[in-house]
Amino acid sequence: DGGITQSPKYLFRKEGQNVTLSCEQNLNHDAMYWYRQDPGQGLRLIYYSQIVNDFQKGDIAEGYSVSREKKESFPLTVTSAQKNPTAFYLCASSLIQGSNQPQHFGDGTRLSIL
Amino acid sequence: DQQVKQNSPSLSVQEGRISILNCDYTNSMFDYFLWYKKYPAEGPTFLISISSIKDKNEDGRFTVFLNKSAKHLSLHIVPSQPGDSAVYFCAASAALSGWGKLQFGAGTQVVVTP
């Protein structure tokens, strides 16, 4: 079955620690995205990538970093510079050929501070 | 500055009746609109979309209406079923601001009662 796999489902971070969230897709999608969801709010775009070795900042990139070394993988690192990291993180992917391709989401990682 | 707004945080509807979810936007450059459905602790699932060249798109029980002059779209679910109980997000993008940059509303919690 094709899909997007995020791991782990739950993650705890200590103060001053960097943590990395995994996102893998086997849909052969070109583009991948990271969003953050806070309670009572919509999703906000952190980073996105159209092709391997290229990525762009979204609306709230400060305190986060990404890499895109493989088409299938787009890991997100939450650095110690992110002062309010507690949130639900969602990874998505989409085709980019043609226009107006919907994004498809993984099941998310919930990050909490110890 | 929230460009996509869902002003009703919750909606309760009886099974078999119509659910109407509303969404307003402020950016006149938006040209692609989507609705997603989300269950707790899962990622959003794509439901239906509409391009700005149309004013209606239908898929089974789901119909999306777009009123560009009012910068308003709505999702109709007919008939509503218990499995429709979820949070629904409206999202929009503008080709000129870059592919894939979706702006999300805060969501509407729908509860379908027997």
Q: What pLDDT band is residue A99 in, cutting at 50, 70 and 90?
A: low
Residue A40 pLDDT level (bands cut at 50, 70, 90): confident
Contacts A–B by Cβ distance under 8 A: 63
Q: Which of B43, B49, B103 sits opposite A102 (nearest CB)?
A: B49
List of chain B residues with pLDDT < 50: none
Bond preceding residue A75 cis, omega within 30 of 0: no
Among B89, B99, B103, B109, the strongest candidate for a mutation testing the A interface, having the largest count of A CBs within 10 A, is B99
Q: Is B56's Cβ below 8 Å from some Cβ in A? A: no
> A-chain residues within 8 Å CB-CB of B45?
105
In B, minimum Cα distance to A105 occurs at: B43
The answer to whether the CB of B88 falls within 8 A of the CB of B35 is yes
- Which chain A residues touch B32 with a CB distance below 8 Å? 99-100
Residue of A103, A99, A22 lying closest to A58 (CA atoms): A103
pLDDT greater than 80 at residue A2: no
Task: List, for residues A6-19, the tens digit of each pLDDT value.
Answer: 999 999 988 889 99
